[in-house]
Amino acid sequence: MLTSCATDAPAPAAPPLPEFQPTASVEDIMRSMIDPSADAMWDAVVTTITDAGIEEVRPETEEDWLPLEHGAIMLVEAGNLLLIDGRRIASEGSVSELPGIDLEPDDIAVRVADNRETWARLARELHDAGVVMLNAIRARDVDALLAGGDRLNVACENCHSRFWYPDTLGSGAGAARGSQSP
């Protein structure tokens, strides 16, 4: 007499895990990835004219270019991270550091929720500006890096004027590049 253990019913399938698990807020991504990387791009090529003469800063060595490449990769991928559904704008209890210049996080969240298509397009602009920067860096092309920096600035301001700034500033006046926190 042989018996089989195969008569046990298979265990029910576990529900599928969510594809993404957004942990960091948009504010976290801005502060830890986008702002430092963008600042590094904008500060990579600088010409200063003083009474003592002209001082130029530009990447020349591999040690100069490598951190820029890492920063450009972060900008590219940050654009993708902003597209993940369910990501909070800011941590619970977070408030604007610049009231009247930047909206409160809850107000930004409403704008993003009401305009998801525009949010996605502007996140793509950040991504695409990052790709321009990455290509310039990999080509070691300072002129293309400068042009990419302009495109990056436009991508940042387009998003901030639509989602971060109150309507009185959002019509195109914008705020200074340095005020990018939600």
**Percent of the chain having pLDDT more than 90?**
77
pLDDT digits (tens, 9 = 90+) for 72-99: 999 999 999 999 999 999 999 999 988 8
Residue 12 counted as domain residue = no
The pLDDT-based confidence of 177 (bands split at 50, 70, 90) is: very low
10 Å CB burial of residue 50 (0-12, 13-18, 19+) is exposed
Residue 176 counted as domain residue = no
Residue 147 counted as domain residue = yes
Residue 16 counted as domain residue = no
CATH no. for residue 30?
A: 1.20.120.10
Number of domains in the chain: 1
| Average pLDDT of the residues of the chain | 88
Domain ranges, residue 120? 24-170
Residue 94 counted as domain residue = yes
Residue 37 counted as domain residue = yes
CA dihedral 88→93→96→99, nearest 10 degrees, is 130
Residue 9 counted as domain residue = no
pLDDT digits (tens, 9 = 90+) for 18-27: 688 899 999 9
pLDDT digits (tens, 9 = 90+) for 149-176: 999 999 999 999 999 999 864 444 343 3
Residue 71 counted as domain residue = yes
Q: Compute the C-alpha angle 67/157/42, nearest 5°.
A: 25
The two structure tokens encoding residue 101: 């210049």
What number is the average pLDDT over the span 96-121? Answer: 94
10 Å CB burial of residue 83 (0-12, 13-18, 19+) is middle
pTM for the predicted model, two decimal places: 0.80
Q: Which residue has the tokens 């594809």?
A: 19
**Percent of the chain having pLDDT more than 70?**
86
Q: What is the pLDDT of residue 182?
A: 42
Q: Which residue has the tokens 């009474």?
A: 51
